[in-house]
Amino acid sequence: MIERQQNRAGLYFLLLGLVLSVGHPLSAQAVSMVNDPNGFQGLTWGATLTERQEVEVTRAGPHVNEFQLRSGAPSYAGIPVESVRLLAVDDQFARVIIRYQGDDRHKQILTYLERQFGSLDRIPGQMLRGLNQQYTWRGIDTEISLTYHANTERGFIFIDSRALAPRFNDRITDSAE
C-alpha cells in the first residue's frame, strides 16, 4: 500500500515537472550583436539627459530619472509603439524601455532587430513561437533584450548600457524609489 502511494507521488511529480517544463519558455541565448549602437537614437550611454532639449522628465528620483522624447507619437524604427522611456542613473543615460502591443508590431520589431543587430540562431526543433518569447543581442557596449507575451500580445524591449545598467541595482532602494 505504501509502495503504491510512493509510486503515485513519484508519477505525480514527474507529470507536474513535465507540464511545467512545457509551459515555461526556452531559456534565451544571447546573439553576438553586430552594429553596437552605444546608445539610442544618437544619445550615447552616459550622456546627461537633463541638458537635452529633445527629452523631458516624466519621473524624477534621487538617483534614477525617467525621460521621454518630446517629438510626436512614440515609435521605434518607424514602428508605432505604446511608449519609449529613457532612464538615467546618477544623471547618466543607461537604459531604454520600449513597450508595444500586437503580433504584427512584434513581427516588424523582431525583423528590424535581426536585420540591424544580427540574426537569431535557429536551432532545429527550437520553438520559434510560444506563449513567452525572449531574445537577446549582446554587444561590447549595449545589450538588447526583447520579451513578448503571445497570450496578451504585449512586448517589451530593454536596451541597456552594459557598463551603466548594473548601477540600477545599486541605486534602487527597498521602497522602489
Average pLDDT over residues 49-77: 92
Mean pLDDT of 34-38: 94
Instruction: Give the tens place of pLDDT for each residue, 103-159.
Output: 999 999 999 999 999 998 765 444 455 688 999 999 999 999 999 999 999 999 999
The domain locations on the chain are 26-171
Which CATH architecture does the domain made up of 26-171 adopt?
A: 3-Layer(aba) Sandwich (3.40)
Whole-model pTM: value is: 0.78
**Per-residue model confidence (pLDDT) at position 9:** 44
At residue 128, the pLDDT reads 53
Phi-psi region of 100 (alpha: psi -120 to 50; beta: other; left: phi over 0): beta
pLDDT of residue 4 exceeding 60: no
pLDDT class of 28 with cuts at 50, 70, 90 = low
The pLDDT score that the predictor gives to residue 55 is: 93
Chain length of the chain: 177
Contact (Cβ atoms closer than 8 angstroms) between residue 140 and residue 157: no
- Quote the strand ranges of the chain, DSSP E: 30-32, 39-40, 43-44, 55-59, 64-69, 75-76, 79-80, 83-89, 92-101, 132-138, 142-149, 154-161
